[in-house]
Amino acid sequence: MKKIIFYFLVIISFTTISCTDYTDPKVLSGTTWRCSSFPDYLSDSYEYIDLQFISTSQVDAWQKPKDGALHKSETPESYIVSGKNITIGSGTEAITGTIENKKMSLLFPSGQVTLIFTKQ
C-alpha cells in the first residue's frame, strides 16, 4: 500500500511540474497572453495588451491604454506556429516571435520593439 501511495505522489509531482506545449495550435487555442511591461517610450501609453487565441488560426488583440477604455482589434489576425516560432499576420506587417513554456516573445515589424507576453 505504501508503494502505491509513493507512486501516486511521484506521478502527481511530474504532472504538476511538466509544462504544457503551447507550440501546438490546438493547445494555444482558447488561451490568453498578456504583456504589461513596456519599453520606456511605450510605458506611459499602455496598461496592458492581451492576445486571445480564439481558434487554431486566429488571434484577437485587446489593448488597455492607461488613459482610456479597453478595446479590441477590428478583426482577428491569422497566426501560424512552426516549432517554437510564431507569426501573427502576414506580409510586411507580420509580427514574429518564439514561444517557450508560458512566455511568448514577439518582435514587431519595426524591429525595434520586442514585447514579452505571459500565459494568463
Q: Choose among 65, 98, 93: nearest CA to 77.
A: 93
Q: Choose among 111, 85, 89, 87: nearest CA to 98.
A: 85
In this prediction, residues 93-112 reach a mean pLDDT of 92
Q: Is it the case that residue 6 has pLDDT exceeding 80?
A: no
The predicted model scores a pTM of 0.81
Tens of pLDDT, residues 55-82: 999 999 999 999 999 999 889 999 999 9
Domains of the chain: 20-119 (2.40.128.280)
Which pLDDT belongs to residue 7? 47
Q: How far apart are CA 19 and CA 40, in angstroms?
A: 32
Q: Choose among 118, 90, 94, 120: nearest CA to 104.
A: 118
Which pLDDT belongs to residue 42? 85
Which pLDDT belongs to residue 53? 98
